[in-house]
């Protein structure tokens, strides 16, 4: 007897409204006449098109259907205002940003950074499979900390949260680095890099709001011990074009407010398109996970990858494959540094949390006797025919293996499933297929490493399968991590029932008695955070000098506005 795949109603989203601290005047910023000089530029007469009398404008050509330079990006108002309205928000203490302008206010105490040493777990461990990669080999004792305005982490995870303290120094001697995140993978992969940067520089953390559901946002900050962002852009719009426009406009306003010395971006999401505003502001941009290419423009992220790579000042590819892509496109070799994947460092650090996860017990499944499925990409779930094919694939897997099929259901997929069911076209699913809300980081890693096989369109599947040693199938027509195929880490196939069954049979049979990880050399790196920090600190002034011809006056860390001081040492 078939069962419905409807998922329980989502928990109510937290209110994100705010109270402006001064009367409303305009939208984010005003579009005005071309040629207004931006503070910090001068001698060469650069200007940002679309600015008004005193405000930050955005970009040249508009985004998503905008044309002439005079047009403003989505959510901008009348010309002449430069102040973005922000005030205390109800979103966990983060500074909310919307199109209502007022004065700028930053409130709240300084929050301790994420732990720098692994966390010792308490409670029972879950069943695991042989040869797992996660080993709590670097546990250490540390004190406890309490996050302001949130439940103490000890109550959330049942474990202490150590507080690393970097050596304080004069503010004028510490660079100010802004980190912009917006999705779950960015938060996870940057977790150790954020902690390392907090100890070395003055960090301004900004969340674009691209993933706004709690499961894809705040839960990962809580679980990974990352402090609350300083700004929340609330950039999600009714369309991709509107979201992109808001990301550019609202990040530009934060750049004006914070005056960062550098911007760190990760990956290929719409959040990374803040590079356009940063470039106009002469802010050195460092792009981590640069150079990935799937060579299929039907994939929305492929366009973002090329844009961000070519606009960034320093590209930080994870692999030699990605570095070669950048070189083939003519990007300068002296501004490309291979860092390796940050996932090994992340998995090693949070291994105790994964070991302590009760997710297998909670789901009532046994290690090695269930499958994990995750599909969320636009090219796999947006069309009803594709979604029907996914449901048929799940039924085929249940019929073949007769084990629970645990489906981690992304909000995009959940919405498409609800619409398909409402249309009456959704096929009934086997009783073994279990649609679950998205899991937290530790629970999902515990599920993957104990699964008989993981079938997913996730971009990080290759890295996780390589490091953890679980059988994996990528349901994608094109993917951007060929190094996984080079080393036989995973099998890729079309998202069709017959193709998926054949691929799963192949990897499951091969894994019988041999789940030893096949680690890609570029993934076997445990000090990526250290590398990234040193590259950023070493190249802020290099970018100012070689790209914008700016030099800081003697005894300061800030460049002369517009690069007018060109006196050589």
- Cα–Cα dist 228/344, whole Å: 24
Same domain, 483 and 395: yes
* Mean of pLDDT over the chain: 77
DSSP codes of every residue in 25-61: --SS-B---TTPBPTT--TT--B-TT--SSS----SS
Is 4 part of any domain?
Answer: no
Report the distance separating Cα 22 and Cα 26, nearest Å.
Answer: 12
pLDDT band at 28 (very low <50, low <70, confident <90, very high): very low
For CA atoms 374, 378, 379, 385, the dihedral sign is positive
Percent of the residues in the chain that have a pLDDT greater than 90, as a whole number: 59
Q: What is the mean pLDDT of residues 38-45?
A: 41
Q: CB-side exposure of 353: number of CA atoms within 13 Å?
A: 28
The verdict on 425 and 454 lying in the same domain is: yes
216 and 311 fall within a common domain:
yes
Transcribe 310-330 into DSSP letters: HH-SEEE-SSHHHHHHHHHTT
The answer on pLDDT for 130 being more than 90 is: no
Q: At 327, which CATH number?
A: 3.40.50.2000
- The predicted pLDDT at position 485 comes to 87
Residue 263 shares a structural domain with residue 390: no
- pTM attached to this predicted model: 0.70
- In order of 87, 144, 218, the CA distances from 150 in angstroms are 18, 14, 11
Assess if residue 373 is contained within a domain.
yes
H helices of 402-514, in order, are: 411-423, 441-450, 461-468, 482-486, 497-511
Q: Is the pLDDT of residue 500 over 70?
A: yes
User: What CA–CA distance (Å, rounded) separates 527 from 517?
Assistant: 20
List Cβ neighbours of 334 (8 Å cut-off, separation of 6 or more).
none
CA distance 236 to 1: 40
- Taking the C-alpha atoms of residue 390 and residue 499, their distance in angstroms, rounded to an integer, is 12
How confident is residue 367, by pLDDT bands cut at 50, 70 and 90?
very high
* Residue/partner pairs of 134-137 with CB below 8 Å, 24 or more apart: 134/347, 134/348, 134/351, 134/354, 134/355, 134/445, 134/449, 134/468, 135/348, 135/351, 136/351, 136/352, 136/355, 137/348, 137/351
Residue 501 located in a structural domain = yes
- Asked if residue 250 is part of any domain, the answer here is yes
The pLDDT value recorded for residue 443 is 97
3-state SS, residue 290: coil
What is the extent of the structural domain holding 293? 176-340
Tell me, yes or no, whether 317 and 374 share the same domain.
Answer: no
Final residue before a domain boundary, out of 340, 373, 405: 340
CB atoms within 10 A of CB 149: 12
564 vs 157, higher pLDDT: 157
Residue 18 has pLDDT above 60, yes or no: no
Residues 182 and 314 in one domain: yes
pLDDT tens-digit readout, 141-171: 334 333 344 434 334 344 444 444 444 444 5
Rg of the chain, C-alpha, whole Å: 24
- Percent of the chain residues past pLDDT 70, beyond the cut: 66
Please indicate, yes or no, whether residues 265 and 335 belong to a single structural domain of this protein: yes
Give CB contacts under 8 A, 24+ apart, made by 141-145: 142/115, 142/117, 145/112
Pair 391, 335 in one domain? no
Domain-ending residue, one of 520, 536, 564: 520
Q: Are residues 370 and 243 in the same domain?
A: no
pLDDT at 276 (0 to 100): 98
Say if CB 32 and CB 80 are below 8 A apart. yes
| Residue 124 within a domain | no
Length of the chain: 569
SS3 206: strand
Residue 330, class by beta-carbon neighbours within 10 Å (0-12 exposed, 13-18 middle, 19+ buried)? exposed
Question: What are residue 540's DSSP bridge partners?
Answer: none
- Listed as own residue / partner, the contacts of 33-39 with beta carbons closer than 8 Å and 24 or more positions apart are 33/70, 34/69, 34/70, 38/280, 38/281, 39/561
pLDDT of residue 144: 37
Domain check: are 316 and 405 in the same one? Answer: no
Q: Which residue has the higher pLDDT, 558 or 357?
A: 357
Give the C-alpha separation, 287 to 194, whole Å. Answer: 14
Q: How confident is the model at residue 118 (pLDDT cuts 50, 70, 90)?
A: low
Residue 237: inside a domain, yes or no? yes
Say how far apart CA 109 and CA 390 lie, in whole Å: 47
The per-residue b/e assignment along 304-322, b for 16 or more CB within 10 angstroms, e otherwise, is bbeebbebbbbbbbbbebb
Residue 397 has pLDDT above 60, yes or no: yes
pLDDT at 219: 82
pLDDT at residue 470, rounded to an integer: 95
Query: Is residue 516 domain-resident?
Result: yes
316-360 pLDDT per residue, tens: 999 999 999 999 999 999 999 999 999 999 999 999 999 999 999
**Phi and psi, residue 456, nearest 5°:** -155, 160
Query: What is the longest distance spanned by two Cα atoms in the chain?
Result: 80
Closest CA to 280 of 46, 124, 9, 436: 46
Please say if the pLDDT value at position 172 is more than 90. no
Q: State which of 309, 340, 371 marks the end of a domain.
A: 340
Task: Dig out the tokens for 530 from the structure.
Answer: 């250290």
**Mean per-residue pLDDT, 515-519:** 83
Residues 209 and 333 reside in one and the same domain: yes
Work out how many domains the chain is built from and give that number: 2
Helices vs strands, H then E, count in the chain: 18, 14
Per-residue confidence (pLDDT) for residue 40, from 0 to 100? 42
Beta strands in 105-209 (DSSP E): 176-181, 202-207
- pLDDT per position as a tens digit, 47-86: 434 444 444 443 334 334 444 333 433 444 433 333 333 4
Beta carbons of 281 and 59 less than 8 angstroms apart? no
**Cβ atoms of residues 562 and 46 within 8 Å:** yes
Backbone phi, then psi, for 142, in 5-degree steps?
-160, 165
Dihedral angle over CA of 421, 427, 433, 439, nearest 10: -30
Question: Domain for residue 99, yes or no?
Answer: no
Measured from the Cβ of residue 193, the count of other Cβ atoms closer than 10 Å reads 25
Span 463-467, average pLDDT = 96
CA atoms within 13 Å, Cβ hemisphere of 245: 22
On whether both 229 and 269 belong to a single domain, the answer is yes
The 10s digit of each residue's pLDDT in 211-227 is: 766 556 788 889 999 99
């Amino acid at each position: 007897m078939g069962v419905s795949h409807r998922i329980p109603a989502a928990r109510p989203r937290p209110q994100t409204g705010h109270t402006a601290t001064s009367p409303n005047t305009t939208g984010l910023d005003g579009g005005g006449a071309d040629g207004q000089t931006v503070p910090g530029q001068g001698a060469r007469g650069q200007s940002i098109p679309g600015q008004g009398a005193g405000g930050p404008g955005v970009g040249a050509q508009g985004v998503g259907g905008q044309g002439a330079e005079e047009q403003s990006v989505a959510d901008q108002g009348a010309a002449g205002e430069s102040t973005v309205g922000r005030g205390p928000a109800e979103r966990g203490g983060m500074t909310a940003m919307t199109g209502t302008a007022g004065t700028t206010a930053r409130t709240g105490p300084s929050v301790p950074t994420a732990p720098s040493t692994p966390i010792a777990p308490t409670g029972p461990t879950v069943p695991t499979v042989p040869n797992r990669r996660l080993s709590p080999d670097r546990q250490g004792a540390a004190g406890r900390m309490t996050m302001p305005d949130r439940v103490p982490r000890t109550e959330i995870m049942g474990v202490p949260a150590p507080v690393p303290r970097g050596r304080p120094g004069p503010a004028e001697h510490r660079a100010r680095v802004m980190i912009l995140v917006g999705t779950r993978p960015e938060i996870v992969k940057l977790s150790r890099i954020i902690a390392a940067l907090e100890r070395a520089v003055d960090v301004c953390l900004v969340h674009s709001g691209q993933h706004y559901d709690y499961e894809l946002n705040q839960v990962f900050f809580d679980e990974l011990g990352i402090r609350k962002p300083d700004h929340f852009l609330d950039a999600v719009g009714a369309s991709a074009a509107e979201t992109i426009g808001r990301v550019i406009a609202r990040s530009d306003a934060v750049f004006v407010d914070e005056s960062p010395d550098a911007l760190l971006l990760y990956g290929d999401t719409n959040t990374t398109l803040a590079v356009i505003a940063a470039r106009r502001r002469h802010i050195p941009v460092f792009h981590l996970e640069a150079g990935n290419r799937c060579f299929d423009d039907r994939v929305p992220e492929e366009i973002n990858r090329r844009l961000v790579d070519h606009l960034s000042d320093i590209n930080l590819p994870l692999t030699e494959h990605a570095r070669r892509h950048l070189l083939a496109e003519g990007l300068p070799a002296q501004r490309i540094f291979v860092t390796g994947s940050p996932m090994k460092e992340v998995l090693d650090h949070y291994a105790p949390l994964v070991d302590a996860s009760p997710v297998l017990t909670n789901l009532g499944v046994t290690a090695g006797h269930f499958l994990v499925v995750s599909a969320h990409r636009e090219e796999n779930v947006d069309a009803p025919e594709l979604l029907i094919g996914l449901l048929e694939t799940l039924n085929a897997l249940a019929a073949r293996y007769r084990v629970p099929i645990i489906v981690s259901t992304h909000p995009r997929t959940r919405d498409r499933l609800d619409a398909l069911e409402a249309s009456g076209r959704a096929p009934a699913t086997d009783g073994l297929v279990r649609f679950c809300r998205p899991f937290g980081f530790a629970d999902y890693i515990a599920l993957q490493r104990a699964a008989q096989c993981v079938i997913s369109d996730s971009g990080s599947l290759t890295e996780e399968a390589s490091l953890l040693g679980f059988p994996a199938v990528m349901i994608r027509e094109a993917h951007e991590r060929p190094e996984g195929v080079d080393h036989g880490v995973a099998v890729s196939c079309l998202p069709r029932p017959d193709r998926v069954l054949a691929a799963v049979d192949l990897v499951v049979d091969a894994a019988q008695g041999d789940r030893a990880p096949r680690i890609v050399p570029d993934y076997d790196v445990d000090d990526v955070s250290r590398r990234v920090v040193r590259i950023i600190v070493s190249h802020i002034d290099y970018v100012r000098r070689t790209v914008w011809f700016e030099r800081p006056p003697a005894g300061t860390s800030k460049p002369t506005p517009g690069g007018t001081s060109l006196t050589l040492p």
